[in-house]
Amino acid sequence: MYMNIELVLASNSIRRREILERTGIDFSLDAADIDENLGIDDPEELVRELSYRKAASVAPKHRGKAVLGADTIVVLGKDILGKPKDEEDAFQMLSKLSGNTHKVYTGVTILKLQDKEPPVPEELRDTFCCMSEVTMYELEPELIRSYIATGEPMDKAGSYGIQDIGAILIKEIRGSYHNVVGLPIGEVWRHLKEFL
């Protein structure tokens, strides 16, 4: 859907790029490179802060444009499951998720640094978080190993991607599907309208 906004996506995520492309929103890419080890235990606070830091890291190069930063994590109980370090880490994560319901949080920040003189506010910022619940089937170790062998889990929080082969692992989802993929586009679109 057409939206007259100059948008910069502060991410190198293929999934986020594809979601924006499919909705027809024009944007450019400028991937953020930040330290994601913040020592924050609260999932919602963590993804909100990471999304802001991603947007803020590239916004000075794009004054007057809306910069979109996002971060997604998987949470099982009190454990935050990020991207796996290696195949064994992926196996452990998927074994924990097997037969259980977990939460997926995505924090999103839309940030615009003004290129006008005061008294216009220097920074326009909108940060929010979406949460979805995902239930996995019971997964046999052989299935987990064969899924890991595809390479798909290795760059994804929680070691799975719901949009591709990983879909066969999923029994049920409650909440936004696109949130689980990495960008809750329905909510993002509505928040972006505030910047028009």
Q: What is the CATH number of the domain that holds 113?
A: 3.90.950.10
Domain contains 149: yes
**Six-digit token pair at 119?**
């008294």
Domain contains 153: yes
Q: How far apart are CA 183 and CA 181, in angstroms?
A: 6
Domain contains 116: yes
Residue-wise pLDDT for 148-176, tens only, equals: 999 999 989 999 999 999 999 999 999 99
**Six-digit token pair at 69?**
């930063």
Q: How far apart are CA 167 and CA 59, in angstroms?
A: 35
- Residue range of the domain that includes 115: 7-193
CB of 184 within 8 A of CB of 130? yes
Please tell me the predicted confidence (pLDDT) of residue 24.
Answer: 87
Please tell me the predicted confidence (pLDDT) of residue 123.
Answer: 78
Asked if the model's pLDDT at residue 1 lies above 60, the reply is no
Residues 6+ apart with CB under 8 A from 39: none
- At residue 29, the 3 state secondary structure works out as strand
Q: How far apart are CA 166 and CA 170, in angstroms?
A: 7
Q: Is 71 a catalytic residue?
A: yes
Structural domains counted in the chain: 1
Domain contains 1: no
Q: How far apart are CA 13 and CA 24, in angstroms?
A: 17
What's the whole-number mean pLDDT along residues 64-88?
Answer: 94
Please tell me the predicted confidence (pLDDT) of residue 82.
Answer: 87
Please tell me the predicted confidence (pLDDT) of residue 35.
Answer: 75
Domain contains 2: no
Query: pTM of the entire structure?
Result: 0.90
Residue-wise pLDDT for 6-49, tens only, equals: 899 999 889 999 999 998 888 999 999 887 777 888 999 999 99
Residue-wise pLDDT for 111-128, tens only, equals: 998 876 555 557 789 999
Catalytic hit among 71, 86, 126, 155: 71
